[in-house]
Amino acid sequence: MSFIDEVKLFARAGDGGAGCVSFRREKFIPFGGPNGGDGGKGGDLILQVSPHVSTLYDLRLHPHQKAERGKNGMGKDCHGASGEDLVIPVPQGTIVKDAETGEILADLAEPEQRIILLKGGRGGQGNARFATSTNKAPKFAQPGEEGEERVIRLELKLMADVGLLGFPSVGKSSLITRVSAARPKIADYPFTTLKPHLGVVEYKNYRTFVMADIPGIIEGASEGAGLGHRFLRHVERTRILLHLLDPCRTHDSNPLEDYETLNRELALFNPELAQKPQIIVVNKMDLPDVQALLPEITPYFARLGMKVFPVSAATGEGIAALLDEIAATIWKEG
């Protein structure tokens, strides 16, 4: 199943059923009077957070969603049945927007959260409702009301405690593979990760936290460069950021410039992102070139009051100390 985090939906609640025009037809009762029943209410269209859904893939395949219409009323004062509500399961973290105005209609960030997005139409009244002392045989009834209709856009923002931040090929996928059961694609070329991955990290005393592998962000991402702001929005939900640096990412790369560039992109996209707590990680410490450059990196972050954690996702070196720091930061922030 593909990871789809944005979809346009043409949604409509059910129409109400029509009221019935009917009269009693019984032997020896020549003027039985009206007995047309009311139409049933149309079904509502409901969005509900489901723990069994992690992508908007199914809705991409079925962009037209409509709830059941109410049944028409019948004679003998029989009312039509209400239409069945249409409950659409969505992942936790789904934002509902009006496709035309961009207005946020709902933010489904809580487990099992449920909203009535569109209300079904009211059923029409049958002619029995309109009998009066001056009009004992009304020959009309109400049609059912139309259900609400709207074009909406669903956007998914991953719900995670920790977001892995860094340029392509710094080892984000390798790290999440080391500490969790997530298995993103790993290769020695940029942009191997084309969709976010979530991994549950098991910590001490049966405590766990969720880590998100966000695809590589590059300079200009806030304006759509590379994979663009499509994945920057997933960082918004995370509580802390793990900023991975690779001093030998390219022959002319500068890890300090990489750090400043990505933080600038975060601030341009959303100023609050740049204020999130960050943990600095220098990866690939199993390589001699990286070991040689580490002393040049740590003084810069020391002046910022930040500690640097040297690790190797390949060998596991330094991972235990890093997890301790992540856990302490998460539960301090929480």
CB 146 within 8 A of CB 121: yes
Give me the pLDDT at residue 213, please.
78
Give me the pLDDT at residue 217, please.
58
Is residue 199 over pLDDT 80? Answer: no
The sheet carrying 104-108 orders its strands as 64-66, 6-12, 149-156, 94-98, 104-108
- Read off φ and ψ for residue 144, nearest 5 degrees: -75, 150
Give me the pLDDT at residue 226, please.
41
Instruction: Give the predicted TM-score (pTM) of the model.
Output: 0.68
Q: Is 119 exposed, middle or buried (0-12, 13-18, 19+ CB in 10 A)?
A: middle
Q: CATH: 2.160.10.10, 2.70.210.12, 2.40.50.100, 2.60.40.10. Which one for 1-156?
A: 2.70.210.12
CB 64 within 8 A of CB 140: no
At 139, which amino acid appears?
K
At 177, which amino acid appears?
T
Question: Each residue of 132-154: pLDDT tens digit?
Answer: 888 888 999 999 999 999 999 99
Domain map (residue ranges) of the chain = 1-156, 162-333
Highest mean pLDDT among 52-56, 91-95, 198-202: 91-95
Is residue 279 over pLDDT 50? Answer: yes
CATH no., domain 162-333: 3.40.50.300
Question: Cα(23)–Cα(26) distance, rounded to whole angstroms?
Answer: 9
- Read off φ and ψ for residue 105, nearest 5 degrees: -90, -30
Question: Bridge partners of 152?
Answer: 9, 98
Domains 1-156 and 162-333 share a fold: no
Question: Each residue of 18-75: pLDDT tens digit?
Answer: 999 999 887 776 667 899 999 999 999 999 998 888 778 889 889 999 999 999 999 9
Residue 170's Cβ-side half-sphere holds a number of Cα atoms within 13 Å equal to: 29
What residue spans of the chain are helical by DSSP H?
57-61, 172-179, 229-235, 255-269, 288-303, 319-333
Burial 175-200 (b: 16+ CB within 10 A, else e): bbbbbbebebeeeeeeebbebbbbbe
> Greatest CA span in the chain, whole angstroms?
107
